[in-house]
Chains A and B, each alone.
Chain A
Amino acid sequence: MKSKRRWQALCFALLATAPSVALADEGEQCFLHRELPVERQLRRLSIDLRGTVPDVAEYDAVAKLSELPDALLDEYLASDAFRVQIRRYHESLLWTNPAPALADVGFSLSTVNLDGSPVYYVPGQGKSALFRGGDGTHTCQNKPQDALGYDPVTGMPIVEPMGNDAAGAWSAEGWVEVHPFWEADPAKKVKVCAFDAQTTATYTLPPGDPDAGTHSCDHLLATNKAKSCGCGPELSYCMPAGVVQPLVHAALREQLLRLVDEHTDGTQPYSGLLTTKRVHYNGPLAFYFKYHAQRQTLSRTQNEHQASDGPLPDLAFTDVDTWVAVEREAPHAGLLTLPAFLLRFQTNRGRANRYRIAFLGQYFQPPSTKDTNCAKESDDLTRRCVCRNCHLTLEPIAAYFGQFTEAGSMSLRDFAREYPTRKACAKGIAPQNAGWCDRHYVAIPDETDPDLRPYTLKALQYADDEHPEIGPHFEAGPADLVKADIESGRFHEVAIEHLFSYLMKREPNLDPTTGDYEGDALAKIAADFRVHDDIRQAVRDLVKLPAYRRMP
């Protein structure tokens, strides 16, 4: 009996002291760690949320306090400096620096110095030979075109014979003065070779030509076909790369960051970053997609504006600081289908891999064991030895991005999925072009009749019975991929883990067998984040964790 009473007393005592034990388990009161002085807490918070240190007045304002006031945290979270910090955080996740070559000799503008005066011309040899004959290395002569005149029938510049080169006789036109699209001042003009300055919008190929009919001068395939096609009104069809490219690159980056701003300022849900159809354009971007993107040679990035990209706003190239929001259509999905993402990660596999890293916290690792019972030489990477360990997972995810061209940002939604023959494929665009077919399609030999070679979109090369996920994933687009990860909660959980690492300067301890396991605390913050979907609130929850205030 006496022993029983002792056990009763022990149990009572344990219950009575349970709260303090619980606090000890949470690390709330246990010794050895030291709280940062309030000024250093302020410094840490300011560096993390504002990207700089406080001034003396701000230190003095918290001098007598035991902890930082919530109002201060609110002020930091509402500041423009926090917006910039959140931009940097997302840039480190998404590597936001698209820098593809946007110009090509077929439509770029160079200058030739004629008696001390720069004169613009298009340096492509094919086009120059079409204009002036010879070997295609010649430009215009230093003479105003008005002195030579124009052909009354064709309207093209009249030329003068200049001599012979290795390829034969060549002639040259004069120059004209044009106000170029990149100059805001309408009075400012530049000299341009008269052939290159032609403003014709279309050209017509005669009956009998394989591509008979009327076509646009503002297209890649017009480059070497039409002598009557120049750079269009205000040289809009051509690009001085040194002027246009830096502005477009900067705008592509800003376009993504504006989306980040909208979904991290508390007005739009954070998960909308991956689901929204909204996109922003400024003058250089709208101009590039209206006039230049479709002129890029097939061997470089293909960024031609498509119907699913939404209407382009009517902005002048010089409207650098004017941004207009427009709505895109399916299959667009937030920042994952912005050019800044698609051009930074140019393959569907690369896009899928970055998505897994940035938003699912998942990394591929090579296997540590020998791969057996697999195909050693298969082109199908989901079967090939060693490769298949990752590609079995990667290929179905990559298929979600299949409706966007690789090495480019162009939507393929409205492209035919398949052509029965190579010839039909080449006629998929006018004027017909086999190179265009090879750029986007791949031949799939028929298993029973090798002579039958239908051409299918490259992303659908393995969409067959052995790979049943690829076709549906292709048609669903990235929006479906994102939807599943947001609904499962994984998106918010990983965002919290990334933010934790960013703010705490270390990985969270997610090993439940250790005493300072942090998984429960993070799970609670992630569960709340999933409900409020506000990254500012999530940051607030994280910096209020006791660990954030402690010295390491």
Chain B
Amino acid sequence: MSASRLTYLVALAALTAAACTKEAPDAGTKGPADPWEAPSVTANGETEKAPEDLGGGTLPGPAAGVRRLRIDTLQAAMTKVAGNDVYGAPIFWRVNNRDGFSDLAFGKALGRPDYQTSTEESTVSNALYLKFVGDAARDICMQMAKNDMKRAGASRALFPKAPVDGTATDAEVTENLQYVVLRFLGLRVAADDAMITNLRAVYDAGVSSVASPNGSEITAAAEGWRGVCVTLFESPLFHND
């Protein structure tokens, strides 16, 4: 094979490989001409590097869509995450001793279809949905915290990795934050992930919001975990499947 042929082969193979790789293309890679040129000067006249994602290229492959959990699923998911109380009964959103997500409480108001007056479940998060989810989160999280106060160590649902008597180390708090992010959201994040940092701020705010000792059923640290619990239940990541 002549040198010129090899040159062609190598060049073509390089072109194709650049178009289809696992990672986004390096901004510095010389490839085929971009379909359009990313602006290098912003509207206010400052020069900045264009984000890599605006560099053009092949459209992404199709993905699944985003949809809010159905009420049946939300009901089951919150109960599954909350676990059982100290008597072995599932923890659920209590409204006048009924499950708040049931049709006898707010199930229909939240949009569960009865196939008579409503035939399709809305899967958008409207104001009513957010309000009731907030109510459910605060109720369930308080139950979780109270039941965990009666348990010890790994049997706890909300704070199995960190004691709540004021002796928890930073490492224990971080480990428990990683644990609850996995339990609530199905995300395994590193200790230095921004999500952990932000949740730590929520935890600290909860701890400092009550005096310690305060004579209530839950300690200051448990109050901090309750705040984290509500935050995670209200996270969009919890409500998207």
Could you tell me the distance in whole angstroms from the C-beta of A27 to the nearest C-beta in chain B?
2
Residues on the A chain within 8 Å of B120, using CB: 92
Inter-chain CA distance A505–B62, complex, in Å, is: 12
What per-residue 1/0 map shows which CB atoms of B63-79 lie under 8 Å from chain A? 11111010011001101
Residues on the A chain within 8 Å of B22, using CB: 29, 31
Residues on the B chain within 8 Å of A63, using CB: 188
Inter-chain CA distance A16–B16, complex, in Å, is: 10
Q: Which of A11-25 contact B (CB under 8 A)?
A: 12-14, 16-17, 20-21, 23-24
Query: Which of A20, A92, A95, A506 makes the CB contact (< 8 A) with B17?
Result: A20
Inter-chain CA distance A27–B19, complex, in Å, is: 11
Q: Which of B168-219 contact A (CB under 8 A)?
A: 179, 182-183, 185-188
Inter-chain CA distance A88–B115, complex, in Å, is: 11
Inter-chain CA distance A319–B57, complex, in Å, is: 66
Inter-chain CA distance A12–B123, complex, in Å, is: 51
Asked if B12 contacts A96 (CB within 8 A), the reply is no
B104 within 8 A of A: no
What per-residue 1/0 map shows which CB atoms of B100-126 lie under 8 Å from chain A? 000000000000011110011101000
Q: Which of B22, B63, B123: most chain A CB closer than 10 A? A: B63
Residues on the B chain within 8 Å of A8, using CB: 5
A430 within 8 A of B: no
Number of CB contacts from chain A to chain B under 8 A: 155
B58 within 8 A of A: yes
Asked if B77 contacts A47 (CB within 8 A), the reply is yes
Query: Which of B2, B186, B241 makes the CB contact (< 8 A) with A39?
Result: B186
Query: Which of B59, B72, B113 makes the CB contact (< 8 A) with A515?
Result: B59
Could you tell me the distance in whole angstroms from the C-beta of B120 to the nearest C-beta in chain A?
7
A32 within 8 A of B: yes
Query: Which of B5, B20, B59, B123 makes the CB contact (< 8 A) with A5?
Result: B5
**Closest B residue, CB atoms, query A551:** B63
**Closest B residue, CB atoms, query A23:** B20
Query: Which of B81, B119, B241 makes the CB contact (< 8 A) with A47?
Result: B241
Asked if A10 contacts B8 (CB within 8 A), the reply is yes
Inter-chain CA distance A546–B72, complex, in Å, is: 27
- Given contacts A39-B182, A56-B182, are A13 and B9 in contact (CB under 8 A)? yes
- Given contacts A29-B21, A51-B76, are A40 and B187 in contact (CB under 8 A)? yes
B163 within 8 A of A: no
Inter-chain CA distance A423–B21, complex, in Å, is: 83
Asked if A48 contacts B241 (CB within 8 A), the reply is yes
Inter-chain CA distance A32–B23, complex, in Å, is: 7
Could you tell me the distance in whole angstroms from the C-beta of A407 to the nearest C-beta in chain B?
16
B60 within 8 A of A: yes
Could you tell me the distance in whole angstroms from the C-beta of A499 to the nearest C-beta in chain B?
13
Residues on the B chain within 8 Å of A54, using CB: 186
Residues on the B chain within 8 Å of A52, using CB: 73, 76-77, 79-80
B37 within 8 A of A: no
Interface of B, helix, strand, loop or mixed by DSSP:
loop
B134 within 8 A of A: no
**Closest B residue, CB atoms, query A44:** B241
**Closest B residue, CB atoms, query A518:** B62
Q: Which of B79, B119, B241: most chain A CB closer than 10 A? A: B241
Asked if B65 contacts A504 (CB within 8 A), the reply is yes
Inter-chain CA distance A231–B116, complex, in Å, is: 32
Inter-chain CA distance A91–B186, complex, in Å, is: 29
Residues on the A chain within 8 Å of B66, using CB: 505, 552
**Closest B residue, CB atoms, query A42:** B186
B34 within 8 A of A: no
Inter-chain CA distance A24–B53, complex, in Å, is: 18
Residues on the A chain within 8 Å of B25, using CB: 31
Could you tell me the distance in whole angstroms from the C-beta of A9 to the nearest C-beta in chain B?
4
B32 within 8 A of A: no
Asked if B183 contacts A56 (CB within 8 A), the reply is yes
A370 within 8 A of B: no
Residues on the B chain within 8 Å of A13, using CB: 8-9, 12-13
Inter-chain CA distance A271–B185, complex, in Å, is: 38
B61 within 8 A of A: yes
Inter-chain CA distance A5–B1, complex, in Å, is: 11
Asked if B116 contacts A99 (CB within 8 A), the reply is yes
Residues on the B chain within 8 Å of A548, using CB: 64
Residues on the B chain within 8 Å of A88, using CB: 72
Inter-chain CA distance A56–B179, complex, in Å, is: 8
Could you tell me the distance in whole angstroms from the C-beta of A89 to the nearest C-beta in chain B?
11
B152 within 8 A of A: no
Residues on the A chain within 8 Å of B8, using CB: 6, 9-10, 13
B24 within 8 A of A: yes
Inter-chain CA distance A74–B37, complex, in Å, is: 48
A330 within 8 A of B: no
Inter-chain CA distance A88–B59, complex, in Å, is: 35
Residues on the B chain within 8 Å of A99, using CB: 116
- Given contacts A5-B5, A344-B115, A505-B67, are A47 and B61 in contact (CB under 8 A)? no
Inter-chain CA distance A279–B5, complex, in Å, is: 72
Residues on the B chain within 8 Å of A509, using CB: 62
Asked if B64 contacts A44 (CB within 8 A), the reply is yes
Could you tell me the distance in whole angstroms from the C-beta of B239 to the nearest C-beta in chain A?
11
Inter-chain CA distance A367–B115, complex, in Å, is: 28
Could you tell me the distance in whole angstroms from the C-beta of B83 to the nearest C-beta in chain A?
8
Could you tell me the distance in whole angstroms from the C-beta of B187 to the nearest C-beta in chain A?
6
Query: Which of A95, A344, A516 makes the CB contact (< 8 A) with B61?
Result: A516
Residues on the B chain within 8 Å of A17, using CB: 12-13, 16
Could you tell me the distance in whole angstroms from the C-beta of A3 to the nearest C-beta in chain B?
11
A165 within 8 A of B: no
Residues on the B chain within 8 Å of A185, using CB: none
A315 within 8 A of B: no
Inter-chain CA distance A185–B120, complex, in Å, is: 42
6 A-B pairs with least C-beta separation = A27-B61, A506-B65, A550-B63, A505-B65, A43-B186, A13-B12
B-side residues, CB < 8 A to A, are 2, 4-5, 8-9, 12-13, 16-17, 19-25, 53, 57-67, 69, 72-73, 76-77, 79-81, 113-116, 119-121, 123, 179, 182-183, 185-188, 241
Instruction: Known A-B contacts: A53-B186, A55-B183, A546-B61. Give 15 more (CB < 8 A).
Output: A9-B8, A20-B16, A21-B20, A24-B58, A30-B19, A30-B61, A31-B22, A54-B186, A56-B182, A59-B183, A92-B120, A504-B65, A516-B62, A547-B63, A550-B64
Could you write out 25 A-B pairs with CB less than 8 Å apart? A16-B9, A21-B16, A21-B19, A27-B61, A29-B21, A29-B22, A30-B59, A31-B20, A31-B22, A31-B23, A47-B69, A51-B72, A52-B77, A52-B79, A54-B186, A59-B182, A91-B115, A92-B121, A95-B115, A97-B116, A505-B65, A516-B61, A516-B62, A546-B61, A550-B64
